[in-house]
Amino acid sequence: MAEAETEKATTGSLLSNGGVALDTTAPNGSEEQLDTSRKVDPLSPRKRDRSYNEATECTENAVKRQKGVAPIKAEYLLRSTGNWTEDEKGGVEYDDAAEAADDRYQKIDGRGRDSRQGGKGKKDKKQQRGQKGQNTSRTFGSSHDKLQLCGTRQLSPEFSPKECPFGSKCKFEHNLRKYLNEGRRGDLTTLDGKCPIYEAKGYCNLGWKCRFHSSHSTERETDDGRRELILLEDTERKPAEGTQDPDYEVGVFNIVSKEAKINLSRRRTGTPRADAYLEWVNANADAERVHFDRKPRSGAIGQPEEELTIKKEEEERAIKKEEEPDIKKEEDEDNRAQFVEPPFRPSEKRRIYYGPETPILAPLTTQGNLPFRRLCVELGAQVTWSEMAMGLPLIQGDKGEWALMKAHESEIRPPKFEHKNAVVRGYDNAKDLKFGAQIAANKPWLATKTVEVLTSLCPQLRAIDLNCGCPINLVCEKGCGSALLDSNARLESILRGMNYVSNEVPITVKIRMGTKDGQPTAEKLIKRLVLGGYEAVESGKGTAGVAAITLHGRSKQQRYTRGADWGYIAECAALIDRLKREKSSRTDTIAEADPRDLANDGHVYFVGNGDCYSHVDYYNHLENAKVDSVMVARGALIKPWIFEEIEKGQYLDKSASERLSYVEKFAKYGLQTWGSDELGIGTTRRFLLEWLSFSHRYVPVALLEHLPPNIQDRPPRFRGRNELETLMASDNYKDWMKISEMFLGPATEGFKFEPKHKSNSYEIEAEG
């Protein structure tokens, strides 16, 4: 445990050349200084034959590194037992599935906090090929008490409970002492035996079901000499009776009431802004056809005669356009006058800011929960995103989907803001915040209604991001995620609609390089998003109005394999910069985008995403790719203190005890979020194990032969500098369970956990 930790955390010091020197102690007791300075030559974006990642790792006298294997010093390596697979050597196929995991859509706990779709049903051969190597349809068992205590007794004193409407017919336990003695497991002694919820609120809303109830309950003697069990409350911290919202949670924002979700599920909630926008689109449909000389088609699409007629009409229009340019120009102006003014402009949005001091935590499916985001914010994350939420379940009032929108109070504070000269006009840092919501939608009507409901019920949102990067089949088959990359016109229409209904909340988008390997299309899409498609600009609709674009340097087909292509990201960044310069020199006012449609005063921020694993990666990408900021995904899961490294500009060799303290914090935050009863502890344990399945891959920097580390490298089996460090590096599920039990106690008999990937595919079934 933590007491077994003997070494001290080793922090780096900046060298004069921008590198870092780490003072480390070798196993034999000798002192050695590890020079981690690196000189990185700027990479020309067009030199695609050279790997961007290799360029950032070059040193003058570097020893050749074995690709895919972490370069651990020989004295720490363990002799292989012969069961080290190829998957363990290189980056496994679904290694980065945290951003979009198939199992995210399966039911995992009774509270529905992480459920969308069950894992039943046959999969076709294509799906089976796409999911090879991954544990699909994972189950996690259940965590519950042996006897279920009636809700009328949960928060009441022993002798004065609320009246149960079912009386003697109630199927739940009414005898409090019987429940405490026979119906539940004993109180936990971990976390100093103190209830995290009571410590934060001054009362515990789980009452007698809390596994720490002895820390906030006592026994008193009544007037008739009996001993009565009662719950304790801190009256100074607990809100006054009758003034508290039943859905209130201390330090949590964007809580949607039960009544609001019921109204959504029963279609009682109106969406007037979305309806007005959709009516506006329909009203302009005829004007668009006239403007572009299109006639409504009748009959089946694609008939040979129809295609010939359309082609002939296009040729005639081209000839007419050459002969009568002035007449055509006058007609265009007359047609533009027929368009109805849109109800809301993107430029009226609240301004946002991205800069070198704002590293971003990516939307992480399953792992990007509130406790983990809260931990990352403490360690320096300046922008956070919710897990991807599906639009349809949101407008249907699904409680699991709406739970993803909750944000901790630390995420509501403004991000760091230092480069005041580089900010857009009208930006007010005091009104900015860290937390944004990411959604997935496949059609304009769904996206607009989702955004309107979101902005109405969740006032604390920095921005709303449309996911166009998720590559998994369950999402793409519905036309969401990466499927939108092949439908540029539809994507532009969706983003424009989101802008018109989101009030002051800015709209952003996250995309990939393209859908197929070797055929990137992001440059074409980015140009369309920044300037607007030809038809949209000509018809007066304007640009999509996005405030920021995030590009993941992989294709949909590539999913999460191989390295991210930062060379291509650099090309796209150069494109945006060129478009900005061309805009200032453009003389064609007709083709120029309407200033009212340009979000963020016309400044579209560009963010890069993929394989960022150290401050060296972060600043290299800022310098060489010329992005405004970098989004961190898997790197934050493996070492959340990457944000601290970025802030300090140096490697931080965290000791095992420090890393264990982060696990303890996650456990506390998880219990405060999901509850300190048996069910909440089981949920917290499950998400803690999900995180440990990533964090165990961390190799302390003092154990590495070469720096910076590469996130694609998988470590061979090694021993740490003490027993705790070795335990935390274990890829054995039993060791993950041991770590969870340090803070959550033994798991229930019904609890199960299966790692995501089959390289660790043994089932976990905890014994009570």
CATH number of domain containing 397: 3.20.20.70
Point out the domain boundary residue: 245, 262, 285: 245
Percent of the chain with pLDDT over 70: 70
Specify if 336 maps to a domain: no
Count of structural domains within the chain: 3
- Asked whether residue 166 falls in the same domain as residue 230, the answer is yes
- Asked whether residue 452 falls in the same domain as residue 594, the answer is yes
pLDDT single digits (tens) 666-687? 999 999 999 999 999 999 999 9
Looking at residue 343, its pLDDT comes to 57
Distances in whole angstroms, Cα of residue 611 to Cα of each of 246, 635, 641: 42, 7, 15
- Asked whether residue 560 falls in the same domain as residue 689, the answer is no
pLDDT single digits (tens) 317-334? 555 555 555 544 455 555
Between 466 and 106, where is the model more confident?
466
- The answer to whether 612 is a known catalytic residue is no
Highest mean pLDDT among 297-301, 340-344, 565-569: 565-569
Write out the two tokens for 305: 């005669």
Looking at residue 425, its pLDDT comes to 82
Specify if 642 maps to a domain: yes
Specify if 303 maps to a domain: no
Please, which contacts does 179-184 make with residues 24 or more away whose CB atoms are closer than 8 Å? Answer: 179/145, 179/147, 179/149, 179/153, 179/208, 180/208, 180/213, 180/229, 182/146, 182/147, 183/145, 183/146, 183/147, 183/148, 183/149, 184/145, 184/146, 184/147, 184/209, 184/211, 184/678
pLDDT single digits (tens) 14-72? 333 334 444 433 333 333 333 433 333 434 444 443 444 444 444 333 446 788 899 99
For residue 214, is pLDDT > 80? yes
Looking at residue 319, its pLDDT comes to 54
- Asked whether residue 132 falls in the same domain as residue 161, the answer is no
- Asked whether residue 132 falls in the same domain as residue 203, the answer is no
> Could you tell me where the beta strands, DSSP code E, fall in 536-589?
548-552
For residue 765, is pLDDT > 50? no
Looking at residue 314, its pLDDT comes to 54
For residue 284, is pLDDT > 60? yes
Point out the domain boundary residue: 597, 623, 650: 650
Looking at residue 135, its pLDDT comes to 55
Beta-bridge mates of residue 551: 511, 608
Residues 11-38: b if buried by 16+ CB within 10 A, e if exposed:
bbeeeeeebbbbebeeeeeeeeebebeb
pLDDT single digits (tens) 135-157? 555 566 678 889 999 999 999 99
- Asked whether residue 393 falls in the same domain as residue 411, the answer is yes
Looking at residue 240, its pLDDT comes to 62
Specify if 472 maps to a domain: yes
Looking at residue 749, its pLDDT comes to 83
- Asked whether residue 534 falls in the same domain as residue 611, the answer is yes
For residue 662, is pLDDT > 70? yes
- Which residue carries 């793409």 as its tokens? 476
pLDDT single digits (tens) 403-457? 999 999 999 999 999 876 667 888 899 999 999 999 999 999 999 999 999 999 9
pLDDT single digits (tens) 162-191? 999 999 899 999 999 999 999 999 999 999
In the predicted model, what is the mean pLDDT of residues 286-312? Answer: 49
For residue 542, is pLDDT > 80? no
Looking at residue 586, its pLDDT comes to 58
Specify if 372 maps to a domain: yes
- Asked whether residue 591 falls in the same domain as residue 740, the answer is no
pLDDT tier, 516 (very low <50, low <70, confident <90, very high otherwise)? very high
Contact 179, 205 (CB under 8 A): no
pLDDT single digits (tens) 598-621? 777 788 999 999 999 999 999 999
In the predicted model, what is the mean pLDDT of residues 368-393? Answer: 97
Which pTM was predicted?
0.81
Catalytic residue among 458, 470, 480, 612: 470
Specify if 500 maps to a domain: yes
Point out the domain boundary residue: 612, 635, 650: 650
pLDDT tier, 296 (very low <50, low <70, confident <90, very high otherwise)? very low
Beta-bridge mates of residue 608: 551, 630
- Asked whether residue 92 falls in the same domain as residue 234, the answer is no
- Asked whether residue 102 falls in the same domain as residue 183, the answer is no
How far apart (Å, rounded) are the C-alpha atoms in residues 305 and 22?
75
Write out the two tokens for 367: 């792992």
Specify if 284 maps to a domain: no
Looking at residue 355, its pLDDT comes to 94
Between 596 and 21, where is the model more confident?
596
Looking at residue 496, its pLDDT comes to 92
- Asked whether residue 431 falls in the same domain as residue 364, the answer is yes
Specify if 588 maps to a domain: yes
Looking at residue 41, its pLDDT comes to 42
Looking at residue 488, its pLDDT comes to 92
- Asked whether residue 707 falls in the same domain as residue 723, the answer is yes
**Burial (CB count within 10 angstroms: exposed 0-12, middle 13-18, buried 19+), residue 201:** buried
Quote the domain boundaries for residue 722. Answer: 2-37+68-141+656-765
